[in-house]
Amino acid sequence: MSDFFNSGWAVYVAVATVLSLAACLALLIIASRRKVMASDNTTGHVWDEDLRELNNPLPRWWMWLFVITVVFAAVYLALYPGLGVVGGSLKWTSTGQYDHEQARAREAMAPVYAKYAAMSAEDLARDADAMGIGQRLFINNCAQCHGSDARGSRGFPNLTDADWQWGGDHETIKTTITEGRMGVMPPMAEAIGGGDNVRNVAHYVLSLSDSPHNPVFAQLGREAFAACAACHGEDGKGMQALGAPNLTDRIWLHGWGEQAIATRISQGVNNAMPAQARLLTPEQIHVLAAYVWQLSRPTAVAAN
């Protein structure tokens, strides 16, 4: 009922529901008291010359079936939510039901994850069963953003390369999954002087990765880039403690080229990864983090 604008809608729903049940019950009572007409008991409708429509009352069993339905509805509404904001005497909620089922599932899976809890990322990566579980956890919880192949898309990092904004070791990945991440780049156009400096810095950033750029503009933007160095570093290699990306490789999370970079400088960007601690147990996160960790290290894992 949180979708209602005010409590008046909840009252409206409750009153409409109760009146509807009362009207159904009243109609059934009235219909049950009706007797067969003394005349020919027809409605006056005739088909095929001699087929007459009778006006008999409902059969008793049929009427009582309707009454039972109305009574069942009343009992249901007394026990479960259905009358506006009234929760029902059992205090049942869909959220509570979901949490209960999740708790039962976790209890059933606890013995499976127990043997993985003490294993290192390297050992987990070599365990086919553990990686099968990790893959299913990834598909169910991470693929919506990073893709089923974990290669991401624009605005969502590729997890199969070696480019990690916050760090790619197993423990850091666990922290990222557990607590989530908030990446914020403020608009920097004013900080770098505005005007042509936005274009110039964009070309300087392109030059850091030896991407196609205008050398004259890049040289002009070198000094203005100092305002960006606080996060990206003087050499542009980024800073994982802040989640600032490395600008010297050719991995572009929000698009490549002068226009895309200039837009980021002018408008900034906010990237958020939600925390998964409520959805996954620490043991599940331990296995999932190992699965993500090995995605960018297939050669190293195979060698071990």
**DSSP, residue by residue, the chain:** -TTSSSHHHHHHHHHHHHHHHHHHHHHHHHHHT----SS--EEEEEETTTEEEE-PPPPHHHHHHHHHHHHHHHHHHHHSS-BTTB--TT---HHHHHHHHHHHHHHHHHHHHHTTTT--HHHHHT-HHHHHHHHHHHHHHTHHHH-TTS--BTTB--SSSS--SS--SHHHHHHHHHH-EEEEE---TTTTTSTHHHHHHHHHHHHHTT-S--HHHHHHHHHHGGGTHHHH-TTS--BTTTTBPPSSSS--SS--SHHHHHHHHHH-EEEEE---TTTS-HHHHHHHHHHHHHHT-HHHHHH-
Identify residue 86 by its one-letter amino acid code. V
- Cα–Cα distance, 84 to 18 (Å, whole number): 11
Are residue 295 and residue 160 in the same domain, yes or no? yes
- Cα–Cα distance, 279 to 180 (Å, whole number): 12
**pLDDT of res. 159:** 95
**pLDDT of res. 304:** 53
**pLDDT of res. 37:** 57
Are residue 266 and residue 196 in the same domain, yes or no? yes
Are residue 174 and residue 293 in the same domain, yes or no? yes
**pLDDT of res. 42:** 77
Are residue 131 and residue 192 in the same domain, yes or no? no
The pTM for the full model equals: 0.71
CATH number assigned to the domain comprising residue 160: 1.10.760.10
Are residue 258 and residue 115 in the same domain, yes or no? no
**pLDDT of res. 258:** 93
Are residue 167 and residue 203 in the same domain, yes or no? no
Are residue 175 and residue 281 in the same domain, yes or no? yes
Residue 31 domain flag: yes
Question: What residue numbers bound the domain in which 40 lies?
Answer: 7-79
Are residue 227 and residue 262 in the same domain, yes or no? yes
Residue 94 domain flag: no
Q: Per-residue pLDDT tens for 215-266?
A: 999 999 999 999 999 999 999 999 999 999 999 998 999 988 999 999 999 9
pLDDT of the chain, 304 residues: tens digit per residue = 455 566 788 888 888 988 999 998 888 888 777 665 556 777 778 888 878 887 777 788 888 898 899 999 999 999 998 887 788 889 899 889 988 998 898 888 888 898 899 899 999 999 999 999 999 999 999 999 999 999 999 999 999 998 999 999 999 999 999 999 998 999 999 999 989 999 999 999 999 999 999 999 999 999 999 999 999 999 999 999 999 999 999 899 998 899 999 999 999 999 899 999 988 999 999 999 999 999 998 665 554 5
What's the number of domains the chain is made of? 3
**pLDDT of res. 1:** 47
